Structure 1
Amino acid sequence: MVAAAMGAIRRHGPGVSVADMAAEAGITKPVLYRHFTDRADLQRAVGEEAAGLLMARIAPVLLEDREPADHIRAMIDAFLAGIEDEPELWRFVVHNPAERGAGAEVVDDAREQIARLLATLLGERLRAAGLDSGGAEAWAHGLVGMVQSAGDWWLERRTMTRTALTDYLTTLIWGGVAGALGGTGTGQPGQAPGGPLRLIPTPGPTSDQTAGDAARARETDHG
């Protein structure tokens, strides 16, 4: 019945009626409600299945052994590919105005799973570099929220390709991660593979360098 409900959502969009979902399963609404308390209960079941589909894309990518910038890019692309392939299902679970709260815990749980895996990855990278890993969990949740928000915007607007959005987000995120890692990893800090921007400015001169330059300038002025 959940699979049939998902088929109805794909066909009719996030505003699909319970009658449409029951018809997709070849049953009546009363029969459907013998198995689900109400629409919210059905939406919760659909949300759990949809979250499983998304996690099936993202979790293997997070567990792969990649260079940091490539890892970030692959994770972002896996998420965007997931919502691109199932736009109506994503809208039904996350943004259905009729039952906004029904799938909230499902979405939160999926986000928590992704953030937990990402925090582990960041923590390992930071510790391997001999750096403090205390911020890994906070960063992971922030990154997941940013990518989800950007994905929502992109799904509605489509003003750029998925590849372009992936590049922009990777550039921004890699700039921060590379800074935290002290520039370790593959590629230049702030420059994702194929990314269009460089967000980390070139470091300015140190105070000792500035003083030395000033002294040499005075010597030149005085011949």
Structure 2
Amino acid sequence: MAVGAGRDPERRRALLEAADRVIRREGPAASMAAIAAEAGISKPILYRHFGDKGGLYRALAERHTRALIEVLRGEFSRDAPIGSRARATVDAYLATISADPNLYRFLVHRAGAQGSAAHGAMSTMIRDVGRELAEMLVAEGESVDPTRAHVWGHAIVGMVRTAGDWWLDHDREVPRADVVDGLVELILGGLPAAASGPTRPGRGAR
């Protein structure tokens, strides 16, 4: 039987909520002991529900990446011009990570570094968003090659995520709207140029 199978889902959710509170309060360095204390249980009981530290990390990653991807999917799949959707999606992403920066850093940096399963959950989320964006570009483009669309989709997701990481360290001096403007300008400015066709290297170039 898998770890946690058959256990009370309400209890499991309560433990994850306790973990969220500790991580938001203490940051990415939050310990398992602190999480267990917040939940009013011992570490062995916490491990019994999740198997080990990696199991807890995976559960947290799945819980939050699923919520984030639903937010992003809702923004870029709505009926609106692509510019409006790009702006709303980028803004929603930045708003989400800035609302819980400690939780975001825990999931992306600590959990990703220490738990391969949690890292896998984050990677799956990134791939899913990149794939859905690529499919949207193919559906809306007049002659967008599917391979190129997937390159664009995953590149855009990586760019927005990296810029978001930087902005979390500078959000007091850099308004979110400025970051959104810069990213959307780059995305919407780059796609038409890329759609015109690749630049071929000169003869002999490597």
TM bucket, shorter chain: 0.7 to 0.9
Q: Which amino acid aligns with 1:54?
A: L
| 8 Å contact from structure 1 (residues 50, 89) kept in 2 | no
Matches within 5 A, 1:200-219: none
Does 2:67 match 1:53?
Answer: yes
Distance 1:105 1:9 in 2: 20
Distance 1:65 1:96 in 2: 37
Which structure's CA Rg is the greater one?
1
Matches within 5 A, 1:4-23: 4-23=18-37
Between structures 1 and 2, the one with greater helix share: 2
Q: Deviations over 1:70-91 (max 9, x none)?
A: 1211111111111011111110
4+ aligned runs moved over 4 Å, structure 1: none
Structure 2: unaligned runs, 5 residues or longer: 1-14, 197-206
Matches within 5 A, 1:1-223: 1-96=15-110, 99=114, 101-126=116-141, 129-158=142-171, 159-180=173-194
What is the SS of the residue equivalent to 1:135? helix
Structure 1: unaligned runs, 5 residues or longer: 183-223
Distance 1:33 1:68 in 2: 46
Distance 2:155 2:137 in 1: 13
Query: What's the Cα RMSD here?
Result: 1.7
**CA 1:131 to 1:37, structure 2 compared with 1: closer, same or farther past 3 Å?**
closer
Name the count of aligned residue pairs. Answer: 180
Q: Deviations over 1:123-146 (max 9, x none)?
A: 1121xx244444111110010001
| 8 Å contact from structure 1 (residues 57, 78) kept in 2 | yes
Deviation at 1:55, TM superposition (A): 1.4
What is the SS of the residue equivalent to 1:146? helix
Q: Which amino acid aligns with 1:124?
A: A
Deviation at 1:178, TM superposition (A): 2.7
Q: Which amino acid aligns with 1:111?
A: I
| 8 Å contact from structure 2 (residues 134, 146) kept in 1 | no
Deviation at 1:42, TM superposition (A): 0.7
Q: Deviations over 1:8-27 (max 9, x none)?
A: 11111110010111112121
Distance 2:86 2:192 in 1: 11
Q: Which amino acid aligns with 1:5?
A: A
| 8 Å contact from structure 1 (residues 62, 117) kept in 2 | no
